[in-house]
Structure 1
Amino acid sequence: MRFHNLLYTLYRLNNRGVFKISGIDNSAFLQGLITNDVNLLSNNSKGVLPAFVLNSQGRVLYDILIYSIPKENQLEFYIECDLSQLVNLKSYILKFKMRKKIDILDETLNVLGYIPKICQESNIQKLKIDYLNYATSVVKKCDSISDIITTQFDPRSLKLGLRMIIKAELDIAKLLNNISKPFDKDFEMLPISQYTSYRYRLGIGEGSIDHPVGQCLPLESNADYLNSVSFTKGCYIGQELTSRTYHTGVIRKRLMPIVLEDNSLSDINQPTIPQGIDMYNQNGKKCGVFRNRIGKYGLGLLKIQESLDKKLHIKFDNREITMTTHKPEWWPANDI
């Protein structure tokens, strides 16, 4: 199969924001604030790391992606987060700056998602090597374009394709023409709602809607399955509860994909289902809470045992909406 002829999709993720942390203390500073291990980012090459920022009670404040860019024998970090929480995240970080030698800088940048159609197919594991070779060639081409800050495999899941941080003035059509010629035969630009719907089909949360600020736990948000937490790095804010839960506890609830069964609900956002509304299984037992949906696909924080292989429903405005859930394919095989 010739991957360069495959149709791919590009999404401008305008619900994501980026800022930069530079300075000689930036790595050690971040190490004490995030769930993942900053040392996994090489000092000599570009990379990206997913992580959560927690409060002192171990609950999620922000989910982030950290991009490392080598510069003058040091790393600069670009922090991608929910755009609506960008100011709050920077303010939170600054509370811990003390006398550390770091600078937090704003830059006008855009975030793009680049997803070959092969990512959406169930047999991606059989084609993994070919896909990685294809995507690696795209990354190399992007590295030669000066207005692209970085292009990386999304570290949370192979099926999320590539993530690009670009300067706002970069002409996207010109970018695509440089990456894949002729792009008009194998490219389509889709709205962000379709990216979100696709991400929901995978069962992957992102941003403050899917991870309500201060209300959810990182392991219930699949941090351990999405390469977003380290259990060997040492202390960070909120580490104690997260570590104790992982080593001694049982994670009975997780963020899971839901599929609405009523075809009349295929419209993107009509009717509006209240976030946080209780969900029940077919036995009438409360099994979780609703988070969000785009069309028929969405997410819910669900009790695993009481939700799998069962009909689920929610009730509001004198109507009942039925749905199902399933175990995402990227969950470990030995999980429930």
Structure 2
Amino acid sequence: MQRLPFATQRLPSRAVISVAGEGAKEFLQNLVTADIDTLEPGQATYSALLQPQGKILFDFFILAENGRYAIDCSKAQKADLLKRLSFYKLRAKVSLSDSDEDVGIAPVKPANGLSYTDPRAAQLGARLIARKGDLPQGDAEAYRGGRIRLGIADTDEDIGSGELFPHEANLDQLGAVSFKKGCFIGQEVVSRMEHRGTARNRIVPVYSPKGSAAKGSVVTADGKTIGTVLSSSDRDALALIRLDRLKDAVGAQEGLLTEAGPIYVRKPGWARFDVALPKDDE
């Protein structure tokens, strides 16, 4: 397995929230989509906090430590996430705090320090949590481009808040949703989508050979909209695609178009869902 070619660096778009106290595990277990009950110190999971209606409010990583859980989240969403967690705290024996730490990335997990292998895809290397100022600045485009080619969505660029269901952002594929644990916020809706197979939209990687497809560009087949472009890096991009309409387009041998020209859908190597591709692309 080949890892992405990027240097150890700080991710300025990320921040850390600390959840501590004797009730921290139970508090998080009853709220978030992932099962954190068996996380040992040094282990991490990808997870999310949903609306009661099932859409993603916040996606993040939870790292278990001795004495706390560190939440690696979007810096832009940190204040709102902390407020939402505080809303659910009630009488729980838990303390919530804005941790003054930086989040970074490294090609491989270092021997020392607070780090964990990215639970979504090992090719993304390790994620680091360090004291403010300890991580170097860097050019994150190599990492970002690799993330997009792997089909991994980003909180700020692709997922947002209150817009997508977990299945649409592939959280069910990336270990962020447990269908075996007890209840969590939005669980009924997400479980129904899983068991009925009603997730029609998925974020998938796409390739635009004639130029970069701009964020928000409409993806069409025979003049009919089947998706929208999200983040892009050169000619690679992520797009939210209606898979049933993609299947119809492939069956009718209709090409996909954006304002930048033709676009080709790819199936991520980690995906367990079906993606209709022309025979030449399979």
Same fold (TM over 0.5): yes
Q: Is the 8 A contact 1:62 1:208 kept in 2?
A: no
Aligned partners of 1:11 and 1:195 also within 8 Å: no
Contact map agreement 2:5 2:143 (CA 8 A) in 1: no
Find the counterpart in structure 2 of residue 237 from structure 1: 185
1:68-83 matches, cutoff 5 A: 68-71=64-67, 76-83=68-75
Task: Give the deviation of 1:331 after TM superposition.
Answer: 1.2
Q: C-alpha offsets along residues 220-274 of structure 1, whole Å, 9 cap, x if unaligned?
A: 11111101100011111111110011012232221101222224x4xxxxx8x35
Q: Which runs of 5+ in 1 are unaligned?
A: 116-134, 143-147, 173-188, 266-270
Look up the match of 2:141.
Answer: 193
Question: Quick one: structure 1 residues 13 and 169, their matched pair in 2 at CA, closer, same or farther if it must change by over 3 Å?
Answer: closer
Q: Which amino acid aligns with 1:158?
A: A
SS in 2 for 1:96: helix
Partner-residue secondary structure (3-state), 1:39 = coil
In the alignment, which residue of structure 2 is the partner of 1:163? Answer: 127
Distance 1:255 1:40 in 2: 29
C-alpha separation in 2, matches of 1:205 and 1:8: 18
State whether structure 2 residue 246 is matched by structure 1 residue 307.
Answer: yes
Q: Pick the aligned partner of 1:26 from 13, 24, 40.
A: 24
Instruction: Report the Cα offset of residue 11 of structure 1.
Output: 3.4
- Equivalent positions of 1:208-287 (< 5 A) are 208-263=156-211, 265=212, 273-275=214-216, 277-281=217-221, 283-287=222-226
CA pair 7-99 structure 1, distance change in 2 beyond 3 A: closer
Is the aligned partner of 1:111 residue 2:100? no
Distance 1:226 1:166 in 2: 25
**Could you say which residue in structure 2 is the equivalent of 1:12?**
10
Aligned counterparts, 1:34-183, within 5 A = 34-42=32-40, 45-71=41-67, 76-115=68-107, 135=108, 138-139=109-110, 141-142=111-112, 148=113, 150-170=114-134, 172=136
**Contact map agreement 1:63 1:206 (CA 8 A) in 2:** no
Partner of residue 298, structure 1: 237
* CA distance in structure 1 between the partners assigned to 2:28 and 2:135 by the alignment: 33
Conservation of the 8 A alpha-carbon contact between 1:53 and 1:61: yes
Pick closer, same or farther for the CA change 1:274–1:27 going to 2, 3 Å: same
Deviation at 1:171, TM superposition (A): 5.9
CA distance in 1, matches of 2:79, 2:11: 18
SS of the counterpart of 2:240? strand
- Give me the whole-angstrom Cα distance separating, in 1, the residues matched to 2:84 and 2:116: 27
CA contact (8 A) 2:13 2:74 kept: yes
How many Å separate the matches in 2 of 1:262 and 1:35? Answer: 39
1:14-53 C-alpha deviation (Å, 9 max, x unpaired): 11111111111111111121111111312xx321110011
What amino acid does structure 1 have at the position aligned with 2:140? Answer: I
What TM-score results when the alignment is normalised by the length of structure 1?
0.74
CA offset digits 1:44-101 (Å, max 9, x no partner): x321110011101100111100011113xxxx11101111111111111111111111
Structural RMSD (CA): 2.3
Q: Structure 1 326/237 Cα, relative in aligned 2: closer, same or farther at 3 Å?
A: same
Deviation at 1:193, TM superposition (A): 2.8
Written as runs of structure 1 = structure 2, the 5 A alignment for 1:310-325 is: 311-315=255-259, 320-325=260-265
Quick one: distance in 2 between partners of 1:24 and 1:207?
29
Question: How big is the shift at 1:109?
Answer: 1.3
Residue deviations 1:91-123 (CA, integer Å, cap 9, x gap): 1111111111111122221111112xxxxxxxx
Choose 60-69 or 208-217, whichever is displaced more: 208-217
Asked if the contact 2:104–2:135 (Cα under 8 Å) also holds between the matched residues in 1, the reply is no
SS of residue in 1 equivalent to 2:152 = coil
